[in-house]
Amino acid sequence: MPVTSEKIMQRLLLAVAFSALSALLLIAVFIISQGLPFIFRYGFREFLFSSQWNPQAGKFGIFPMVVSTLWVTLGAMAIGAPLGVAGAVFLTEFVPRTVMRIIKPSIELLAGIPSVVYGFIGVMVLAPLIRDHLGGPGLSLLAGSIILGIMILPTIISISIDSIMAVPKSYREGSLALGATVWQTVRMVTLPAARSGIAASIILAMGRAVGETMAVIMVTGNSVKIPGSALEPVRTLTANIALEMGYATGMHRQALFATGVVLFVVIMILNFSASYVMRQRKARR
């Protein structure tokens, strides 16, 4: 009877699953343990709200990077969210399912393009366009927002399509039978019924935009300052870590880990809000 080998396999699998969990938890614990003490020592407000970032002089205020990240992300949402949601509405409501089944995977291919390739296109195509037609150095907040706006499209479209398709057909039929036009049905019945899924898709896309690194470093120009216009170069939180970690030591290194903690916390908040919004939908049904 292979009873012992049964037991051994079960124990072995449990051990692997347990170590996978420990490794995943370790990431959070390690980043926080490396960064949090610095934040307390340097001062929470000094770190988050001072504009002085000068590692040589021991000044570690990340406020310009926080503001830049915020603007680049908001710009990306302003471009990606309307485009993505409109696209999702068109593909679910106004074309045959077969057409959607062809177009949806093609749009999802956008998610398969590596972030350096987006950055490369940004440098080669987008930045010169901005420089020649709008002015400024080209590598700018605007370039970052446009590239990120494109990169988040697959996230928004896939999740929005799923949640719009989950709206029961009877809702639409009821609305049409009451005399509403097709568009009125979309706007007043289908979209409100799918709103939690759409909101979740936008929140998750925001997380992607905040966390994106390589494309952003390549196209935003990376100057540490609070941007005065969309055409100025900016440096985001992720770019700050990627640009300086290679040579940082001592306090400087800790400050970069602390920047990682800030990113971590922002992403956690966004993740939790997305799953909270999704749960609301399930609770309502």
* Residue 64: closest CA among 225, 222, 213, 217: 225
* Backbone phi and psi for residue 134, each to the nearest 5 degrees, phi listed first: -115, -20
End-to-end CA distance of the chain: 49
Q: What angle do helix axes 195-211 and 250-284 make, rounded to 10 degrees?
A: 170
* Residue 159: closest CA among 284, 281, 265: 281
Under rule CB under 8 A, residue 90 binds another protein:
yes
Pick from 36, 48, 121, 176: which binds another protein (CB under 8 A)? 121
Considering beta carbons, is residue 179 or 228 the nearer one to another protein? 179
CA distance 246 to 223: 18
Pick from 4, 23, 98, 282: which binds another protein (CB under 8 A)? 23
CA distance 17 to 12: 9
Residue 59: strand pairing partners: 54
Residue 234: strand pairing partners: 221
Pick from 50, 52, 267, 281: which binds another protein (CB under 8 A)? 267
Q: How far is the CB of 205 from another protein (least distance, A)?
A: 10
Q: How far is the CB of 60 from another protein (least distance, A)?
A: 16
Choose the binding region for another protein from 37-45, 52-60, 105-113, 190-198 (rule: CB under 8 A).
105-113
Pick from 39, 62, 77, 89: which binds another protein (CB under 8 A)? 89
Number of residues in contact with another protein, rule: CB under 8 A? 83
Q: How far is the CB of 32 from another protein (least distance, A)?
A: 11
Under rule CB under 8 A, residue 105 binds another protein:
yes
Query: Footprint of another protein on residues 182-211 (CB under 8 A)?
Result: 182-184, 204, 207-208, 210-211
Under rule CB under 8 A, residue 21 binds another protein:
yes
Q: Where are the beta strands (DSSP E) in 47-152?
A: 53-54, 59-60
Distances (CA, A) of 78 to 155, 178, 270: 15, 34, 17
Q: How far is the CB of 278 from another protein (least distance, A)?
A: 11
Q: How far is the CB of 79 from another protein (least distance, A)?
A: 11
Pick from 30, 40, 44, 276: which binds another protein (CB under 8 A)? 30
Q: How far is the CB of 251 from another protein (least distance, A)?
A: 15
Query: Footprint of another protein on residues 145-184 (CB under 8 A)?
Result: 150, 153, 157, 181-184
Pick from 245, 251, 252, 281: which binds another protein (CB under 8 A)? 245
Pick from 74, 78, 117, 134: which binds another protein (CB under 8 A)? 117
CA distance 18 to 23: 9
Under rule CB under 8 A, residue 270 binds another protein:
yes
CA distance 213 to 204: 16
Under rule CB under 8 A, residue 246 binds another protein:
yes
CA distance 185 to 171: 9
CA distance 105 to 94: 17
